[in-house]
Amino acid sequence: MTGTIRRVGRCHVFGDDIPLDDGFIPFEMAIRRIDDPQLLRPELLRMADPAFPDRVEPGDIIVAGTNFGCGKPHFQGFIAMAALGLSVLCVSMPYKTLRGAISKGVPVLAGLPGIDPALHTGHRLDVDFSRGTITNLDTGRRIDTPPLSPLLADVVQRGGTRGTLAAWLETHPDMRLPAQAPRA
């Protein structure tokens, strides 16, 4: 699958060292393995910014500093982000966190030094992840960055690893498990 991953939305700026547990989602939800987006969305980033769940809208863009998503790899926050169609721009992110975001279908541009001071919460952005362009629609400023790799973009466009596997199974039906009879 090829094509452009482009998002237009308001940005929400966060600082450095926002952890996955008790930053993205309460630790209690992570250890209970809650994966229902309806339960996760109201808690998304509430501990980092109590007003965030009330002001975020589908398609918005999270802008963060260094070490965004640090800590143990609990990815419930990305389930909530994917359900809202959010995307991420950040100075840095641990590789396991990047892997978790992509696996849930959340587009990310990481390695963007100086991105966080250039943008403010509420700015409207037009981000082309495939080309590596970030345009601030309020100020007119354009930032060019390395794009999301085509391989990762393909996974995101398919909705994450589940969508990628489903697409692969469509072209390889012989690899599907046989249908099981319903249990009595």
Number of Cβ atoms within 10 Å of the Cβ of 154: 18
In this model, does residue 178 exceed pLDDT 80?
Answer: no
Strand order in the sheet with 133-136: 108-109, 87-90, 61-64, 6-13, 124-128, 133-136, 142-144
Check residue 68 and give left, alpha or beta (phi > 0: left; psi -120 to 50: alpha).
beta
Question: By C-alpha distance, which of 71, 93, 64 is closest to 27?
Answer: 71
List the structure tokens of 112: 């963007």
Chain-centroid distance of CA 107 in Å reads 5
How many helices and strands (H and E) does the chain possess? 8, 7
Specify the CATH class of 6-172 in words. Answer: alpha beta
List the structure tokens of 28: 């209690």
In this model, does residue 116 exceed pLDDT 70?
Answer: no
Give the tens place of pLDDT for each residue, 118-166.
799 999 999 999 999 999 999 999 999 999 999 998 988 988 888 788 8
Q: Place 113 in a pLDDT band, splitting at 50, 70 and 90.
A: confident
* pLDDT mean across residues, the chain: 90
Residue 48 exposed, middle or buried by CB count within 10 Å (0-12, 13-18, 19+) = middle
Q: Which of 56-60, 62-66, 73-77 has the lowest mean pLDDT?
A: 73-77
In this model, does residue 2 exceed pLDDT 70?
Answer: no
Give the tens place of pLDDT for each residue, 15-37.
999 999 999 999 999 899 998 99
pLDDT of residue 85: 95
Domain residue ranges in the chain: 6-172
In angstroms and rounded to an integer, the radius of gyration of the C-alpha atoms of the chain is: 17
Question: By C-alpha distance, which of 43, 32, 31 is closest to 77?
Answer: 43
pLDDT of residue 45: 95
